[in-house]
Structure 1
């Protein structure tokens, strides 16, 4: 079996349907026969989750085998962050989601891991669910939106959550939501050519990098490991411009002025779901190559499961992911099982 570890693989759970109260989520079929997925007032038409790797674990495992992927980190569906729900509904949905993900992992512990959903609109409740997910359910990571519950990632209100994540010794994965309150972002230009999924995601991820670095999150929480999806958007391309701003703009902190932007960028982790060797090379040149991990958006429209890395590159990405997730590596496992001299 391949040892390649994929850290970007969302799941849709039948068990979480209706767990968010009136917001659903709800799977169904339109009168014209098209499947739909309702999240609050937003309805996604034409995407068939049932019978796909998103919902059927046997289909997922077979597809992983075909793609040469040994293990996957399952993550919450970004459509269902539910950052605007009443707290009780958000807590109920997060608990149901995390229980469902943990159950899947329990059935296939050698193939699957899972990251936890949090009710971030109430930071105290989010901390409580993070502790339950990690300590009781054994989840090795936490999942968060790029603007959790309408906050920027550098909002001081989130600092207690970051402290809890560091205390739990798990990484934080950051991925955008593809919808706003009325579906995709309101800019009509982003409603053309699926640009909300292309430029929109990159925009959100780039802003997330800026919030984490310029907003002082990494300074306030030096032990925090954060991994951003899709290569961190345009951050690698903008690294020079960000560095110039860190040196010259009046809002830059003393640490940014003294150390520059680059050391903080290299503190972050990124998945290499960028679809292009040149883009991946630029990311590796700007970020820390030992902080790059493999991610596919498995079974999504832009899945990279048909281009699973092999050889040295694949081994390096997997070893990086194992360190990020605090997992036993192949080397440590072999050393532990070796006979005493």
Structure 2
């Protein structure tokens, strides 16, 4: 039996077009600059990152294609602009300060050339040599002031010449760099890198599958961000903005308990506001590599849709998957527009 359908006389003449998107955690690698001219070793990268070697090889094919397949994938996902950033361990993984400064300049120049060739499809995050505060400030002035990059990408802790030691950005040695960043009014994206060797061996020695993005990156990066909060950095510089990927590296979902337990047990630390306040005033989070409705809803309820931005985590994730997910996410149409492109346009002046 056929069904008698009601007439639909007032339907729009055209369906809603796909959301336009700006993607802000999209990686590249300049192996020659970062590794001192040595060839990239996929086996070593896989071992420390908790990845399969075949996965790493596939990622690197995607990583190194900057102007053909990558643009095609952006088009398929409706991504107008990608903000490119150097992948982990980046400049932060170079132990020698002088070598780090040289590599940062080479990487930033390479990225500037890449952006210039892309006909407006790319923007950039700067890499700076935190190993030397003076050199870091000079590179900030060059990469932001002259090259026009939109912020700074930091790949976790800064390597010490002692390979078992890493320096997190809450340390006093980095305050001059933060002061320069605050004065420029640019955001800093803190991206994961594998934990220090002794941590990695103790936690993941028998479970290498947990060392990287599967689990280890989140607590490593969340701890770094919390160190910034409880160091009082945002009390000194209330206008600073830090970006975290992967829908906040678990912090939004654990923020109540963190605040509660800190109030009971501050152990000599004191800050002016609640963690939730800092999340709403000093942090943005992105959707990179975390296409999970429940996590998104929790993030919206914790910090608001005005502080969430779209990202794909290319080449480690597929851009069309990220795009399809945000199109269908169970949030308001207006919030989708903010996350897909509106918040990035406002923050970066795009």
TM superposition score normalised by structure 2: 0.80
Task: Structure 1 unaligned segments of length 5 or more: list them.
Answer: 29-35, 328-341
What's the Cα RMSD here? 2.7
**Cα contact 2:34–2:94 (8 A) shared by 1:** no
Supply the distance in 2 between the matched residues of 1:163 and 1:281 (Cα, whole angstroms): 34
Q: 1:315 aligns with which of 334, 337, 341?
A: 337
- Matches of residues 117-156 of structure 1 in structure 2 within 5 Å? 117-149=127-159, 150-156=166-172
Supply the distance in 1 between the matched residues of 2:336 and 2:64 (Cα, whole angstroms): 24
Supply the distance in 2 between the matched residues of 1:299 and 1:19 (Cα, whole angstroms): 18
- Matches of residues 1-341 of structure 1 in structure 2 within 5 Å? 3-13=20-30, 16-18=31-33, 20-21=35-36, 24-27=37-40, 36=42, 45-46=53-54, 47-48=56-57, 51-149=61-159, 150-178=166-194, 180-181=196-197, 186-188=202-204, 191-250=207-266, 251-253=268-270, 255-256=272-273, 260-267=274-281, 268-273=283-288, 274-300=290-316, 302-303=317-318, 305-308=320-323, 309-310=326-327, 312-317=334-339, 318-327=341-350
Of 68-77 and 153-162, deviating more is 153-162
SS of the counterpart of 1:8? strand
Q: CA shift at 1:240, angstroms?
A: 1.0
Q: CA shift at 1:37, angstroms?
A: 7.0
Supply the distance in 1 between the matched residues of 2:206 and 2:243 (Cα, whole angstroms): 25
Aligned in 2, Cα 1:122/1:113: closer, same or farther, shift over 3 Å? same
SS of the counterpart of 2:251? coil
Aligned residues: 311
Q: Tell which has more relative contact order, 1 or 2 (C-alpha 8 A, sep 6+).
A: 2
Q: Which residue number in structure 1 is paired with residue 15 of structure 2?
A: none
**Cα contact 1:190–1:196 (8 A) shared by 2:** no
Supply the distance in 1 between the matched residues of 2:208 and 2:239 (Cα, whole angstroms): 41
Aligned in 2, Cα 1:4/1:241: closer, same or farther, shift over 3 Å? same
Supply the distance in 2 between the matched residues of 1:110 and 1:281 (Cα, whole angstroms): 32
Task: Structure 2 unaligned segments of length 5 or more: list them.
Answer: 1-17, 160-165, 328-332
Supply the distance in 2 between the matched residues of 1:217 and 1:189 (Cα, whole angstroms): 34
Supply the distance in 2 between the matched residues of 1:108 and 1:244 (Cα, whole angstroms): 48
Supply the distance in 1 between the matched residues of 2:95 and 2:168 (Cα, whole angstroms): 18
Aligned in 2, Cα 1:227/1:107: closer, same or farther, shift over 3 Å? same
**Cα contact 1:3–1:71 (8 A) shared by 2:** no
**Cα contact 1:246–1:261 (8 A) shared by 2:** no
Supply the distance in 2 between the matched residues of 1:50 and 1:109 (Cα, whole angstroms): 23
User: For the pair shown, which has the larger CA radius of gyration, 1 or 2?
Assistant: 2
Aligned in 2, Cα 1:238/1:42: closer, same or farther, shift over 3 Å? closer
Of 161-170 and 189-198, deviating more is 189-198
SS of the counterpart of 2:258? helix
SS of the counterpart of 2:314? coil
SS of the counterpart of 1:26? coil
SS of the counterpart of 1:227? strand
Aligned in 2, Cα 1:221/1:111: closer, same or farther, shift over 3 Å? same
Supply the distance in 2 between the matched residues of 1:298 and 1:66 (Cα, whole angstroms): 13
Aligned in 2, Cα 1:261/1:304: closer, same or farther, shift over 3 Å? same
**Cα contact 1:142–1:171 (8 A) shared by 2:** yes
Aligned in 2, Cα 1:37/1:121: closer, same or farther, shift over 3 Å? farther
